[in-house]
Chains A and B, each alone.
Chain A
Amino acid sequence: MPVGHDQSLHQDGLRKPWATIGVFLLPSLTIYAAFTAYPAMRTIWNSFHRVLPRSDEPVGLANYAELLRDDIFWRSVRNTITWACTSPLIEVSVALLLALALYARVPGARFFRVAWFTPVLMSYVVVGILWLWIYNFDWGPVNVALRAVGLASWAKPWLGDPKTALPALIFVTSWMWVGFNMVVLLAALHSLPREVLEAAELDNCGWGGKLVFVILPLIRATLLNLIVLSFIGKMKIFDLVWITTKGNPLWATETVSTYVYKRAFEWTTFDLGYPSTIAALWFVIVLAAVLALTWLFRLRQKLEY
């Protein structure tokens, strides 16, 4: 048997159509390189420089050193992390209750599902303005309702008080995202194996028992995914704060995103190096946090099986 001939046939069959692959991938890779990879690297380069409109000047680690001493930055980190740690828990737990209610076959479940999902379709700009009004001191529904039930002393400018401003905004994001989480959880509930639930019922397992011992373990992967997703979203939050409070009062609602924006485009320092440093450090923190969360969840899953 002519081995050489056989081999060449074989090679021919496996020859990769590199030209075709190139044509298909080139547009995406070009856009990725030009508008994602290059800017990201340039930001990191910026972070070691003083970047003025007409000149760059290397400053080594000076920006990073300054960042460590920047109280406003640490305040914004604290606010953002508070947001990113509380929101997912509120959103996912309320969403789970609502999903269970719809799972119990109430009439009109389809309508509820579509209606609850609406807030997440609106831009943060629209949502922010609506909630500025809802929290309005004089005529916002929240204060109007408090006065109507005789709790006038509780009425306050919710977004103007350093103590309540951040919780009030966290509440808004929860309002917005509960419906989204609910829909995902409902889909997970509907895909549960019917036999398992029926077996639990045969074993005389009550609703509470069924929830804790059967349903929750089965949808755990979905729950954890939603938590990570919500966490990532809150680590990036900008629009809502920018429309409602711009980080006020007294940096009570300053997030890392708004602070970067202020330092880059609002403060008249004209230096893009320092805000790039914040962005670079924050990028590392977000990446590390997401990796840690997924690793942690994976680990627990392995331990229990």
Chain B
Amino acid sequence: MAALKRAVLLLLLSLYTAFAAGPFVWAAMLSLRTTTEIHRNHFAPPNPAHWDKFAEAWFTSNYGVYFTNSTQVVVSAVLLLTLVGSMAAHCLARYRFRFNRVIYFVLFSTIIFPPQITIISLFQILVQYGLYNSKLGLTLVYVAIQLPLTIYILESFFARIPSDLFDAARIDGYSDWEIFWRVSLPIALPAVATTVILNFILLWNEFLYAVVLITEEANRTLPLGIQRFIGDTQEDVGMIATGLMIAIIPVVVVYAFFSERLIQGMTAGAVK
């Protein structure tokens, strides 16, 4: 009886797994088939697998450009975020001063802002400063939107480092900057890694700010490229699927290596 119950439970869980992951498996199959093959049967496995479709998407459908743009913007935004965010988090966790909690609250509370409150003016501001339609402008905006979450995660970690360590470092003659760079940051490496991975995924997938702030083909990031591509070729299901996989693969690779860390980061805000 107990074995039967367990079997039913396992069956249900497997069904749910198929439901949760099935769409991606399907997209992966579609990405290796041509649209003609797909229209004959939408659910057949790729036989033979057309790997060359990835080269075609990359070179002739401009996905190479989108991919490079996404990489440039996201990598530089994540680097900046990590440096700027950990400096602020270290300071807020380590130094006692007036308005410490006020600054923390002001920075953190933007997490619930709906993006519309800034996006129209950001458009005006970036146009004024010649940053509209540029990767630099988008990068800076990305730093701004992920800053609250980054500071929140890092601050709670920095605050748990025992202060004896800092007193010892100070007695050894470390300067304030050295204490941050050579004591705080190395110890907080796990939390830093969590924010790096989390910010990478969230910004890699970002669409709203990109669609408002970028219009030029040469500066499009992957989500924008995909959107333009479906606009142009509604019916070419096979190639669209290949494009989707190009966008998904980096995320899957990161997830394969860091699944626990990523889950930790994503859920960090929810558990508190």
Contact = CB atoms under 8 A, between A and B. Distances in A.
B244 A130 contact: yes
Interface string A14-55: 001110110111011101101110111011001000010000
B226 interface: yes
B85 A35 contact: no
Interface in B166-210: 176-177, 180, 201, 204-208
Contacts of B272: 225
Contact of A122 (B121, B141, B205, B270): B205
B120 A123 contact: no
Interface string B6-17: 100110110011
Contacts, number: 248
A197 to B, nearest CB: 19
A242 B211 contact: yes
Nearest to B207: A239
Contact of A24 (B87, B123, B125, B230): B87
A272 B116 CA distance: 12
Chain B CB count within 10 A is highest, among A38, A43, A119, A124, for: A43
B118 A226 contact: no
Interface of B: 6, 9-10, 12-13, 16-17, 19-21, 23-24, 26-27, 42-43, 83-85, 87-88, 90-92, 95, 97, 103, 106-107, 110, 112-125, 140-141, 143-145, 147, 151, 176-177, 180, 201, 204-208, 211-212, 223, 226-227, 230, 237, 240, 244, 247-248, 251, 255, 259, 262-263, 266-267, 269-272
A59 interface: no
A39 B122 contact: yes
B23 to A, nearest CB: 5
Given A122-B251, A141-B43, A283-B116, 9 more contacts: A31-B84, A36-B145, A129-B244, A225-B270, A261-B208, A265-B123, A265-B212, A275-B120, A290-B112
Given A17-B95, A129-B230, A36 B144 contact: yes
A42 B125 contact: yes
Chain B CB count within 10 A is highest, among A21, A272, A286, for: A21
Contact of A27 (B88, B124, B206, B267): B88
